[in-house]
A and B are shown apart, each in its own frame.
Chain A
């Protein structure tokens, strides 16, 4: 199993890389996509940062081509935090910038009338009751969130939700073998690491 992590230049991919390689997978950090870039079973798009800058890097490093060729081969992609948001069509954070458009819908700003923004800290998530992971994650299990924006996707793509105040937003989204995770599983202690490992294994096996 080989996993490629995209270097979006603005974010910390070390913690994602460290987590992924601790699971025993061969891990490669990709700086730029060209003819010499080998194929992998899974691409991980990590991320903290601004949507605009990241969108520019997707262009300048030819990551858009890389992801679409990879998806055409039926391979898996996982996006974390900003990496998840980049999978949408666009974002309120930078309306002119385009996302990868893997999921229909846009990224929207959390509302200060619901709770404090950014949404920072540990919170629980709730899987759809039919989801294979629904019984794995317990009611009290917490994961670390830090974001001001959320993905507005059609319900069918939502695997798990979390709360900002009393308002629900997608915590994990899925389309075929593409998964987006709003929180940081790599920074969510042992629980987060285990969940990330399970999501990776699941998406590669399909």
Chain B
């Protein structure tokens, strides 16, 4: 399977934002403008996370998902405020390929199995948020430390039927200083689920380092919002580094219509 380059779009209920260490969010622009940008930049997938849905106790904005589905002919995953099977179903019928669970999975692990049994494991991604090698899983956007040990939680998720892990190191979020390859490596040896890592990607080499230890993809926001780097450029660089990535197509399917 090709290594995936995945922009994360964080939505605060009004606009797209990006902060550091899950705090101090800066406004980036409108959802539509950001979506238009990524529709041109050839990512492998998009993660759209509504970071205020759970804290303000509101439903996901399904109309945004429908607009995404209009704009993108690639898969996208949606997260934030998904706390029931019904809401997960609505996300998928609005055009998302999969849902991302965070706090809701920590509060009620059964939700993972409920959704997996109805929509299939491949539709359930769970966000595992932690600080460096501290060992605990955090809920509510990194604000609340839970009693879950990260490795126990990952094992439990796999048994519950989750289909993918989004591993986020909050201490590296927005810092552009590199991913936590030590943590990623530790998690990879403990699960057979695909793992997408996030937090710290700031250069093309950071993607390469993570890819080489076997992570399925790297999700990133700041590098694509605050620097000139695009997903397509990252792919070309990784290809030269020997990483198996999806490259721009020269296909006869397109050339010959």
Contact = CB atoms under 8 A, between A and B. Distances in A.
Interface of A: 10-12, 14-15, 18-19, 48-50, 52-53, 82, 112, 115-123, 135-138, 140-142, 144-148, 164, 184, 186-195, 198
A190 B257 CA distance: 10
Nearest to A137: B253
A116 B191 CA distance: 9
Contacts of B193: 116-118
Interface in B9-44: 44
Given A15-B69, A122-B1, A49 B119 contact: yes
Contacts of A146: 75, 97-98, 122, 163
B123 A116 contact: no
Interface in B229-257: 246-247, 249-254, 256-257
A120 B247 CA distance: 17
Chain B's interface size range is: 35 or more
Contacts of B133: none
Contacts of B194: 116, 118, 120-121
Nearest to B3: A121
Contact of B163 (A82, A123, A148, A186): A148
A110 to B, nearest CB: 10
A138 B250 CA distance: 8
B2 A142 contact: yes
A117 B193 CA distance: 5
Interface of B: 1-4, 44-45, 66, 69-70, 73-75, 89, 92-98, 116-123, 163-164, 192-195, 216-217, 246-247, 249-254, 256-257
> What are the 8 A-B residue pairs with the smallest beta carbon separation, nearest first?
A112-B192, A118-B122, A121-B1, A122-B246, A142-B246, A194-B253, A146-B122, A122-B2
Nearest to B164: A120
A186 B4 contact: no
Nearest to A162: B1
Contacts of A12: 92-97
B192 A191 contact: no
Nearest to B247: A140
A189 B74 contact: yes
Contact of B251 (A138, A148, A184): A138
B32 to A, nearest CB: 18
Contacts of A147: 122
Looking at B1, B217, B247, B252, the one whose CB has the most chain A CB atoms below 10 A away is B1
Nearest to A144: B75
A120 B1 contact: yes
A53 to B, nearest CB: 6
Given A10-B89, A48-B119, A148-B163, A121 B253 contact: no
B75 A141 contact: no
Contact of A118 (B93, B121, B257): B121
B251 A141 contact: yes
Given A50-B120, A148-B121, A189-B73, A120 B216 contact: yes
A11 B92 contact: yes
B254 A191 contact: yes
A82 B120 contact: yes
A194 B254 contact: yes
Given A11-B92, A82-B120, A120-B122, A137 B251 contact: yes
A187 B44 CA distance: 10
19 contacts: A12-B94, A48-B123, A49-B118, A50-B117, A50-B119, A116-B1, A119-B1, A120-B163, A121-B1, A121-B4, A121-B217, A123-B1, A136-B253, A137-B252, A144-B75, A187-B74, A189-B74, A194-B254, A195-B253
